[in-house]
Structure 1
Amino acid sequence: MQSNCLILLWRRKLSGILIVSSLVLFALWTWVFFIYNSRDVQIDGEINHLIQTDNPQKHVYFLQKLISQANRILRYQQKQQNTSSSVNHKLLQARRPTGGIPVPAAAHTGKNSGIVRFVKPTKSPPSIGLLETTDQPLLFGSRHKKIALFGANYLFEDERLKILENQQRVRNAGMAEIQNSMDYERLLTSAERQTQYEHELLRLGVPTIAGIGPSGPRPPNERLVHLDLKGAPPKLSFLKRLLPLLKTLGATGLLIEYEDMFPYTGILQALPAKNAYKVEELKDFLTSVVLHGLSIMPLVQTFGHIEFALKLQEFENLREIPEIPQSLCPSQDDSIIFIQNMLTQIIEFHLSIADAVMNSNSTSAGGASLHSTAFTHIHIGCDEVLRMGECIRCRQHSRHEIFLTHVTTISNFVRTRWPQLQVVIWDDMLRDMMLSEMQHAHIGSYVEPMVWVYANDIYRFIQPQLWDMYAKVFPTIWTASAFKGAFGESLMIPPLQRHLENNMRWLAVIAKESGRFSKGIRGLALTGWQRYDHFAVLCELFPVGIPSLITSLSTVSKGYFVTNPKENDILRVLECAFHPDSRRSGHPWIELHPNSHHSQLFSACSYPGSMVYKFALRLFEKLSELQNYLLHTQDRSAWMSEYNVRHNFSSHSRVYDVTHNTPLYINELSAMAREAYEVMFDVFDEYTVVEFVEQNIYPMIASLQRQLLEGQRLLQRRVWPQRPLPFSAELAQLNLIPANLMNADKICSNDISCDNASLQ
Structure 2
Amino acid sequence: MHSNLLIFIWRRKLSFLLLASGLVLLALWTWAILIDTTKTTLPTLAQSQLQQQQQQSAPSSETSYQHVHIIQKLIAQANRVLRAERQKDNADRSPPSPAQRLLGNVRFVRPTQAKKAPLPLAESFLFEQERLKILEQQQRQRNAGMEELNANAEDDRMLSSAERQTQYEHELQRMGVPAVAGIGPDGPRAPTERLVHLDLKGAPPKLSFLKQLLPVLRALGATGLLIEYEDMFPYSGALQPLAAHNAYKESELKDFLESAWVEHGLSIMPLVQTFGHLEYTLKLQEFEQLRELPESPQSICPSRPQSMALLEQMLTQVIELHMRPSANATPSTPELPIKFTHLHIGCDEVQRMGECSLCRQRLRSEIFLTHVISLAHFVRRRWPQLSVVIWDDQLRAMTLSELQNSQIGSYVEPMVWVYANDIYHFIQPQLWDTYAKVFASAWTASAYKGAFGESLLVPPLQQHLENNIRWLAVIAKEGGRFAKGLRGLALTGWQRYDHFAVLCELLPVGMPSLMTSLSTVSKGYFSTNPRDNDLLRVLRCVFQPDSRRSGHPWLELHPNAHHSQLFAVCSYPGHLVFKYAFRLYDKLSEVSVYLQQARDHSAWLSDYNVRHNFSSPLRVHELTVRTPQLIEELRGMARESQQLLWEVYDEHTVAEFVEQHIYPSINALHRQLASGQMLLQRRTWPQRPLPISLELRQDMGLITLEQQQQQHPH
TM-score bracket for this pair, using the shorter chain length: 0.7 to 0.9
RMSD: 3.2
Q: Indicate the larger mover: 409-418 or 576-585.
A: 576-585
Q: 2: distance between equivalents of 1:657 and 1:242?
A: 49
Compared CA separation, residues 517 and 357, structure 1 to 2 (3 A): farther
The CA deviation at 1:325 is: 0.5
Q: Output the CA distance in 2 between the equivalents of 1:685 and 1:253.
A: 25
| Equivalent pair of 1:128/1:148 in contact (CA under 8 Å) | no
Question: How many Å apart are 1:96 and its aligned residue?
Answer: 7.1
Distance 2:697 2:600 in 1: 23
The separation in 2 between residues aligned to 1:647 and 1:619, in whole angstroms, is 35
Q: 2:164 aligns with which of 178, 186, 193?
A: 193
* Distance in 2 of aligned mates of 1:478 and 1:286: 22
Match of 1:231 in 2: 202
Mapped contact 2:292–2:352 kept (Cα < 8 A)? yes
Q: 1:321 aligns with which of 289, 293, 310?
A: 293
Question: Partner of 2:9 in structure 1?
Answer: none
Within 2, Cα distance between the matches of 1:181 and 1:495?
Answer: 38
SS where residue 621 of structure 1 aligns? Answer: helix
Partner of 2:306 in structure 1?
Answer: 334
TM-superposed CA distance for 1:113, in Å, is: 11
Q: Distance in 2 between matches of 1:506 and 1:190?
A: 22
TM-score of the aligned structures, taking structure 1 as reference length: 0.76
Equivalent residue for 2:411, pick from 424, 446, 450: 446
Partner of 1:123: 82
**Corresponding residue for 1:247?**
218
User: Which structure ranks higher in relative contact order (CA pairs < 8 Å, sequence separation ≥ 6)?
Assistant: 2
- Note if contact 2:277-2:498 (Cα within 8 Å) is conserved in structure 1: yes
| Per-residue deviation, 1:187 | 2.7
**For 2:26 and 2:68, how far apart are their aligned partners in 1?**
20
- Distance between the aligned counterparts of 1:645 and 1:689, measured in 2? 35
Quick one: distance in 2 between partners of 1:672 and 1:129?
A: 74
- Runs (5+) with no aligned partner, structure 2: 1-20, 31-49, 54-59, 84-103, 111-123
Match of 1:296 in 2: 268
Match runs of 1:404-553 below 5 Å: 404-553=369-518
**Selected match of 1:591 from 520, 540, 556:** 556
Following TM superposition, by how much is the alpha carbon of 1:487 offset from its aligned partner in structure 2, in angstroms? 0.1
Give the SS at the match of 2:241: coil
Report the AA paired with residue 408 of structure 2. I
Q: Is this contact kept in 1: 2:292–2:356, CA < 8 A?
A: yes
Contact 2:108–2:127 (8 Å) recurs in 1: no
Q: Secondary structure at the match of 1:424?
A: strand
Residue 645 (structure 1) aligned with residue 645 (structure 2): no
CA contact (8 A) 1:114 1:141 kept: no
User: Match of 2:632?
Assistant: 667
Are the equivalent residues in 2 in contact too, given 1:225–1:253 (CA < 8 A)?
Answer: yes
Once the two structures are superposed, what CA deviation does each residue of 1:13-44 show, in whole Å capped at 9, x if it has no partner? xxxxxxxxxxxxxxxxxxxxxxxxxxxxxxxx
Alignment partner of 2:185: what SS? coil
SS class of match (1:607)? coil
Give the match for residue 623 of structure 1.
588
The 3 A distance-change label for structure 1 pair 633 and 274 is: same
Determine helix, strand or coil for the equivalent of 1:544: coil
On the 8 A contact 2:423/2:471 being kept in 1, the answer is: yes
Q: Secondary structure at the match of 1:526?
A: strand
Please state whether the residue corresponding to 2:82 is helix, strand or coil. Answer: coil
CA pair 146-597 structure 1, distance change in 2 beyond 3 A: same
- Among residues 147, 153, 159, which one is paired with 2:131 in the alignment? 147
Give the conservation status (yes or no) of the 8 Å contact 2:347–2:391: yes
| 8 A contact 1:565–1:579 mirrored in 2 | no
- 1:182 Cα shift? 3.4
Shift of 1:626: 0.9
Counterpart residue number, 2:243? 272
Counterpart-to-counterpart distance in 1, 2:651 and 2:222: 30
Partner amino acid, structure 1, of 2:587: K
Structure 1 residues 513 and 713: CA distance shift in structure 2, 3 A = same
**Whole-Å Cα distance in 2 between the matches of residues 92 and 197 of structure 1?**
68
- Cα distance 1:109–1:732, how it changes in 2: closer, same or farther (>3 A)? same
One-letter identity of the residue aligned with 2:656: E
1:696 & 1:491 partners in 2: Cα distance?
Answer: 10
Q: Decide whether aligned partners of structure 1 residues 229 and 203 sit closer, same or farther in structure 2, where only a CA change above 3 A counts.
A: same
Structure 2 CA distance for partners of 1:175 and 1:596, relative to 1, 3 Å: farther
- Equivalent-residue separation in structure 1 for 2:495 and 2:597 (angstroms): 32
Distance 2:318 2:109 in 1: 75
Gaps of 5+ in 1: 1-88, 99-103, 131-139, 150-154, 169-173, 746-760
Distance 1:92 1:294 in 2: 86
- Measure, in 2, the Cα distance between the counterparts of 1:667 and 1:92: 92
Residue of structure 1 aligned with 2:64, choices 95, 110, 129: 110
SS of residue paired to 1:629: helix
Matches within 5 A, 1:593-612: 593-612=558-577
* Distance (Å, rounded) in 2 between the aligned partners of 1:349 and 1:618: 41
CA shift, 1:188, in A, is: 1.8
Where 1:296 maps in the other structure, the secondary structure is: strand
Change over 3 Å in CA distance of 1:653–1:344 after alignment to 2: same
> Is the aligned partner of 1:262 residue 2:244?
no
Counterpart in 2 of 1:212? 183
Against the structure 1 CA distance between its residues 708 and 466, is the aligned structure 2 distance closer, same or farther, given a 3 Å change threshold?
Answer: same
In 2, the alpha carbon distance for the partners of 1:430 and 1:195 equals 38
1:350 aligns with 2:322: yes
Match in the other structure for 1:46: none
For the structure 1 residues 146 and 497, does the alpha-carbon distance in structure 2 shift closer, same or farther, using more than 3 Å as the test? same
Are the counterparts in 2 of residues 230 and 259 from structure 1 also a CA contact under 8 Å?
yes
**Take 1:722 and 1:96, find their aligned partners in 2: how far apart are those partners?**
120
- Give the match's secondary structure for 2:596: helix
Shift of 1:462: 0.3
| Separation in 1, partners of 2:470, 2:706 | 63
Amino acid aligned to 2:131: I
Q: How does 1:729-740 map to 2 (within 5 A)?
A: 729-738=694-703, 740=705
**Which residue is equivalent to 2:665?**
700
- Counterpart Cα distance in 2 of 1:536 and 1:175: 62
1:710 to 675, 684, 690: 675
The amino acid across from 2:206 in the alignment is: K
Counterpart of 2:118 in structure 1 is: none
Q: Which residue number corresponds to residue 567 of structure 1?
A: 532
Deviation for aligned residue 1:590: 1.0
Distance in 2, matches of 1:228 and 1:289, equals 16
Q: State the SS of the aligned residue for 2:446.
A: strand
| Residue 74 of structure 1: aligned partner | none
C-alpha contact (below 8 Å) 1:493/1:544 kept by paired residues: yes
Offset of residue 94 of structure 1: 8.5
Residues 1:222 and 2:193 are matched in the alignment: yes
Distance in 2 between residues matched to 1:722 and 1:610, nearest whole Å: 59
